[in-house]
Amino acid sequence: MSLHRLRTLATDTGDALTDAAATLGRLAPDATAFPAGAPGRLGELAHALHTQLGSALAARAREAAAHGARFADAAAVLRLAAAGYADTDAEVRRRHQDGDT
């Protein structure tokens, strides 16, 4: 697989994870899914379950955002590597052609 193709995959994966992070960050269901208005310990439990789910979704969002950024960094490394080697290759080819003339 070429560096260019790999860079495209890294970019796409990074973008997908960044998009996922944005959605996951807004995904926590409202409290109507739980008997949050219940009195006493049942209400406390409903609140705790709601909080646990909200924390889990926030953690998923952070994981996706951080990993999206890592893939974006990898894509940047691949772009630099490909550009650097392409420049070197072009320079060698140019010098070789200059030497021929």
Partner 1 sequence: MDALDRLAPPAADLLARVDDTLVRCGAPPGHPVWPLLRRLRALPGEAVAALAVASPAPLDATGAVLRRFDEAYSHAYAALPAEVEGWRGVGAESFAAQWAALRAHLGEDLADRLRDTMSFVEAVERWVRDTRAALARTLAVVLTSAEAVAVRAAAVPTAPDASAASAVPSDEGPATGPVAPDVVRAAAGIAAHVLRTLVEAYDRGAALLDEWAPRLDEVRYRVPAQVSAAGFEATTEVTF
By beta-carbon proximity to partner 1, the closer residue of 2 and 101 is 2
Neighbour-count burial of 95, counting CB atoms closer than 10 A to its CB (0-12 exposed, 13-18 middle, 19+ buried): exposed
Report the residue number, 37 or 94, with the smaller CB distance to partner 1: 37
Cα–Cα separations (whole angstroms), residue 48 to 26, 55, 101:
19, 10, 79
Q: Are 7 and 80 in contact (CB under 8 A)?
A: no
Residues numbered 46 to 85 that lie near partner 1 (CB under 8 A) are: 46, 48-49, 52-53, 55-57, 59-60, 62-64, 66-67, 70-71, 74, 77-78, 81-82, 85
Calculated CA dihedral for residues 73, 76, 81, 86, nearest 10 degrees = 170
Question: Which residues bind to partner 1, rule: CB under 8 A?
Answer: 1-4, 6, 9, 12-13, 16-17, 20, 23-24, 27-30, 32-43, 45-46, 48-49, 52-53, 55-57, 59-60, 62-64, 66-67, 70-71, 74, 77-78, 81-82, 85-86, 89
